Amino acid sequence: MSTKLANPAPLGLLGFGMTTVLLNIHNAGFFPLDSMILAMGIFYGGLGQILVGMMCFKRGDTFGTTAFTSYGLFWLTLVGLIVMPKMGLAASPAAFMGWYLALWGLFTGFMFIGSLCYPLAKQVVFGSLTILFALLSIQHFTGSELLGRIAGFEGIFCGLSAIYFGVAQVLNAEYGREILPIGSKKAAPAASTAAVAA
């Protein structure tokens, strides 16, 4: 029996990307928030990414474990923030939601820095997600509807970039050659003598 493990990242990217596109179609003003978006947030974007994070853990992938598990839990907390007030719990004021989104933006910014040694497609996902969180955070602090719509369109781009990256990995692996380009992975810098000695 083969001990080779499958790459779980495409599954996580598709769960993240598709859920992000749907939510941001709402943010851009095309459709109201409904059960379809919330269900995607719970199951595909939420639980799906958490499972992928655990699969990345099995493969020894610290970046993937941190990213997929965190964003899976992000989707579950976001659904909770939307649904819990309907159950009688106090809703968070807009400014407090701004801080929630700002913290996720800060986390994503650090993950973007980590993505710089990976293919360009991954950098685009994390870079555009950092911008999305910044826009949404500022929108909640200011109450600007225009900024919310701009964030929606930017979020659609972010989600589509994740879908592209996920599909590209699947097709490239299946055909054994580059079907959809994702950019080359950058080589890790060689450790300095001082760092090795330490």
Characterize 87-101 residue by residue with b for buried, 16 or more Cβ atoms within 10 angstroms of its Cβ, and e for exposed: eeeeeeeeeebbebb
11-69: per-residue pLDDT in tens?
A: 999 999 999 999 999 999 999 999 999 999 999 999 999 999 999 999 999 999 999 99
Look at residue 189 in the predicted model and tell me its pLDDT: 54
Mean pLDDT score of the chain: 92
Q: CB-based contacts of 106: which residues, under 8 Å, 6+ apart?
A: none
End-to-end Cα spacing for the chain: 42
Whole-model pTM? 0.91
Characterize 49-67 residue by residue with b for buried, 16 or more Cβ atoms within 10 angstroms of its Cβ, and e for exposed: bbbbbebbbeeebeebbbb
Distance, C-alpha 130 to centroid of its chain = 9
Residue 91, token pair as written in the block: 């809703």
Residue with tokens 């004021």: 93
Distance CA 7, CA 11 (A): 9
58-99: per-residue pLDDT in tens?
A: 999 999 999 999 999 999 999 999 999 999 999 888 899 999
- Confidence check: pLDDT of 198 > 60: no
